[in-house]
Structure 1
């Protein structure tokens, strides 16, 4: 009996130590002084480029909005995923319901570290796992541009998540596995400048991998199948393979890709569809050299076969 009591006591102690370690490791981590020093004064004109490259309107504009209404970032779109329903918040300049009271440091911590001004983890439905690869100066530029947009009152509904996904603290452990500022694809010295520029746009603000890369059981992207296509986070559809591998866009030229991002038409004159409609609309706002850089990057990355299960043919 004494031995059993000792064993139980040891297990209790180990369990307690494990809980303490988990609590410490899962703590939100904000940017340090060195990163904050790189923010700079911010340039709204440059920030407009980052705004569209980052696809801010795709999630934060009022669902179904058109024209100038797409700049009213009131949120409210429902993202239905296996983990629950995520609702992008109001990020307009409204000081109460939006982010009008945020500092540039607040926005930087949100985008690069996934941490709110109050010190809580954001859920990675907000694609900070990609934004983490961005330059702090670009965040400052984006902040300056957001300040030019309208304030819109109205708080978006809360997320609807079941246990254990409603425990934000656990996101800290997820970040230890998946949050990094390192590029996904490594290129040798001497790689053409457009490819490198495209890597920054596609892997960082453009967050292409968030939809086009398969995910593991915990929702992290499988870097060894980067941009190979994936089952859509919502519904039963698929997001296409955009590498040059089997099932991908190997027969598309760089000019084809750049034209698709500008016009929405494929090389065979099919048109963009689904969630990509809004993404393409954002890409069309970029400069031609930015679209060309993304195209150069996509043609330079490792090819992969489709990253999603083959779809069964429809019954006759």
Structure 2
């Protein structure tokens, strides 16, 4: 009996040790970090990446308009079934923001969801999409963020209860759901379609809101962009696949115009959380909006993900 108990204890300890090792934060490969650090970041190009990535939507102060959207002091609350996540200060302030980071720190955050201190970030920060970004876009975005106004506003803590406040458990979540593989397989995409896929699946992180999630926050398989319950209030986030009842009959030109102007083909206007997204999309080039539209017309149609 004593020998069996000792054996069981050894198995439990070995299992715990394996789990601890498997859930450890995994930073970006050192060689890739060095390659990113060697790039010349172009701040002008990085501004486009910032609008595509929606940085201001989560990191500008709530209600900011105009030039104030470029002061990324944080404070936007994202409600969820796990609690409230609060967008942090990512201005170049050396203490309150990310002014003390180098581009390697930034790349680890964006591509691996790992903080400079070596802990997991919550996937409310959409690194699950940003992990598809190119090295040059990472360098360019970092260069642009460093040109923005500093803010000394302290970041507010997330309001997450037990057990979701155990950061190490996010390593298990990453093992199940974190991947840089394409969300859909497109057959021989041309340059425009490839660009649209990059923007939507990568910096644009459209699926983070428009794809339904399971009980632990992972995307439901086979339901990419099919719409979801709104975690931040009543109603739903629409299905944006070609089978959507709300926009399935829109042309690619209709979609591109909506992203530019905020007006639907029926002369309705953008509303809800999509208002900020549309403002960001309006800052992109016409060719990028057309690429996004082409991709949305090419993805597989899906039934509504909230039903």
Q: Same fold (TM over 0.5)?
A: yes
Q: How does 1:1-316 map to 2 (within 5 A)?
A: 2=1, 5-39=2-36, 40-189=39-188, 191-309=189-307
SS at structure 2 position matched to 1:291: helix
Distance 1:134 1:99 in 2: 20
Structure 2: gaps (5+ residues): none
Q: CA deviation at 1:247?
A: 2.5
Residues 252/100 of structure 1: CA separation in 2 closer, same or farther (3 Å cut): same
Structure-2 separation of matches of 1:246 and 1:134:
27
Please give the alpha-carbon distance, in whole angstroms, between the structure 1 residues aligned to 2:135 and 2:220: 26
**C-alpha contact (below 8 Å) 1:247/1:305 kept by paired residues:** no
Please give the alpha-carbon distance, in whole angstroms, between the structure 2 residues aligned to 1:179 and 1:115. Answer: 12
Deviation at residue 292 of structure 1 after TM alignment: 0.2
Q: Work out the number of aligned pairs and report it.
A: 305
Q: Does the 8 Å contact 1:248/1:306 carry over to 2?
A: no
CA distance in 2, matches of 1:246, 1:211: 15
Higher mean C-alpha deviation, range 222-231 or range 37-46: 37-46
Report the Cα distance in structure 1 between the residues aligned to 2:88 and 2:244, rounded to whole angstroms.
Answer: 38
C-alpha distance in 2, partners of 1:127/1:115?
12
TM-score (normalised: structure 1) = 0.94
**Contact 1:230–1:307 (CA under 8 A) maintained in structure 2:** yes
Unaligned 5+ segments in structure 1 are 310-316
2: CA distance, partners of 1:192 / 1:248:
27
3-state SS, counterpart of residue 117 of structure 2: coil
Q: Give the distance between the partners of 1:223 and 1:56, measured in 2 at CA.
A: 27
Q: Which moved more, 1:202-211 or 1:75-84?
A: 75-84
How far apart are the structure 1 equivalents of 2:176 and 2:132? 15
Give, in angstroms, the shift of residue 156 of structure 1: 1.9
How many angstroms apart in 1 are the aligned matches of 2:186 and 2:34?
28
How far did 1:6 drift? Answer: 4.0
Q: Find the residue that maps to 1:156 and give its secondary structure.
A: coil
Superposition TM-score, scaled by structure 2 size: 0.97
Distance 2:9 2:270 in 1: 57
